Amino acid sequence: MIARSRTVICVVGARPNYMKAAPIVRALNASARLRPMLVHTGQHYDPDMNERFFTELGMPAPDANLEVGSGSHAVQTAEVMIRFEPVLDRAADPIVLVVGDVNSTIACALVAAKKGVPVVHVEAGLRSGDRTMPEEINRVLTDQISDLLFTTERSAANNLAREGIDLARVHFAGNVMIDTLVANLPRAVAPAETLAAAGLTAPEAFAIATLHRPANVDDPAVLERLLVCLRTIGARLPVVMPLHPRTRARIDAAGLGGLLDGRALLALGPQGYLAMLGLMRDSRLALTDSGGIQEETTALGIPCLTLRDNTERPATVEFGTNTLVGRDPGRILAAAEEIMVSGGKAGRVPEYWDGHAADRIVGVLEQRF
């Protein structure tokens, strides 16, 4: 038998990372050549944004937690770098694997690249073309310093080629987030149970909405317009809205809590993965600015309106159920109306969003390392 030779340090930091890392850690655990080490940066720290996901996804407790917490982009990124370096120094012959586009992704990739440690980026090559999004900066920079890049959709390789990245380093693996969806769909929590836990009665039919991007929630006037718009939709099709802590804080600071009336607009706290999955699966329509939800609704065949002007995930629009509607209430209402009347556009699930992306990734890693 071949001795296990190399440690793959899998970095997670923020809520959307856990669903991406879980199937990779599992596939690495089954590998004869590689072993996983899980490092949590602590970018997200509330139990609702964090431990709950580890439990639900059957993830092992992290081998190290850097406990960086919140801060400005500079402070958060720098703290992750400072605290990650000694962890990396202690690992024997490591490889660093980062997922997605959060501050923890670029921070750990940069520490590793400068030390000559191989960097693997999962979910590489996605581009919104919008450099005002902090995630876009994280994507471009992480890809530039990665040794191996795994993409979720075919268009991503074109973006990487345009930025001068050698396509010999790029592998089309499919979508690890959908691995987690496929594995957990039978365990999704019924919406009635989720709403009852919040003291609310589940409407017969409902839409689900999430907002957390700074462009949608940081300006009180924009936030108010969007909440009023969701309430208008909610008068016909009640809107269930799990709130990111950042959004909750902005609503409270702007005195907009009165818009969350428990009938047209039903606010919940941050939800666990299995509750979100149940809410998405059973909704008629999703309205969101989240990248993950654009992909998950495409995989589930639920119509999705994305309240942004661009998406880094064009496969969800080209093949899936997603439509970009920006943040103009008139346009959002018209698109929602159209879905309520016609059922929305029929989509198909993009190539390799099939539940086996992590196996493909670990297969390549085993060959390469």
Q: Which of 6, 31, 33, 49 touches ligand UD1 (CB under 6 A)?
A: 49
CA–CA separation, 345 and 105 (whole Å):
34
CA–CA separation, 67 and 79 (whole Å):
9
Q: Which of 169, 246, 263, 284 touches ligand UD1 (CB under 6 A)?
A: 246
Which CB, 244 or 356, lies closer to ligand UD1? 244
Q: 3-state DSSP call for residue 285?
A: strand
CA–CA separation, 255 and 148 (whole Å):
47
46 forms part of the interface with ligand UD1 (CB under 6 A)? yes
Which CB, 20 or 244, lies closer to ligand UD1? 244
| The one segment of 41-49, 60-68, 151-159, 258-266 that binds ligand UD1 by CB under 6 A | 41-49
CB 367 → ligand UD1: shortest distance, Å? 31
- Asked whether 322 and 298 are in contact (CB, 8 A), the reply is yes
Q: Which of residues 156-215 bind ligand UD1 (CB under 6 A)?
A: 212
Which CB, 17 or 323, lies closer to ligand UD1? 17
Residue 204's beta-bridge partner residues? none
216 forms part of the interface with ligand UD1 (CB under 6 A)? no
319 forms part of the interface with ligand UD1 (CB under 6 A)? no
Q: Which of 8, 15, 95, 118 touches ligand UD1 (CB under 6 A)?
A: 15
Which CB, 136 or 282, lies closer to ligand UD1? 136
Tell me which amino acid residue 216 is: N
- Asked whether 86 and 107 are in contact (CB, 8 A), the reply is no
CA angle 198, 248, 299 (to 5 degrees): 70
CA–CA separation, 81 and 148 (whole Å):
21
62 forms part of the interface with ligand UD1 (CB under 6 A)? no
All residues at 6 or more sequence positions from 307 whose CB lies less than 8 Å from its CB, including other chains: 211, 216, 226, 287, 288, 289, 325, 326, 327, 332
Q: Which of 245, 301, 329, 363 touches ligand UD1 (CB under 6 A)?
A: 245
Q: Which of 5, 29, 55, 70 touches ligand UD1 (CB under 6 A)?
A: 70
Q: Which of residues 85-124 bind ligand UD1 (CB under 6 A)?
A: 101-103
CB 272 → ligand UD1: shortest distance, Å? 14
Q: CA 202 from chain center: how many Å? A: 26
Q: 3-state DSSP call for residue 266?
A: strand
135 forms part of the interface with ligand UD1 (CB under 6 A)? yes
Long-range contacts of 216-220 (CB under 8 A, 24+ apart): 216/289, 216/307, 216/308, 216/327, 217/244, 217/246, 217/247, 217/250, 218/250, 220/250, 220/253, 220/254, 220/256
Instruction: Identify whether 40 is a catalytic site residue.
Output: no
| The one segment of 11-19, 120-128, 181-189, 260-268 that binds ligand UD1 by CB under 6 A | 11-19
Binding footprint of ligand UD1 on the chain (CB under 6 A)? 14-16, 43-46, 49, 70, 101-103, 134-135, 212, 244-246, 249
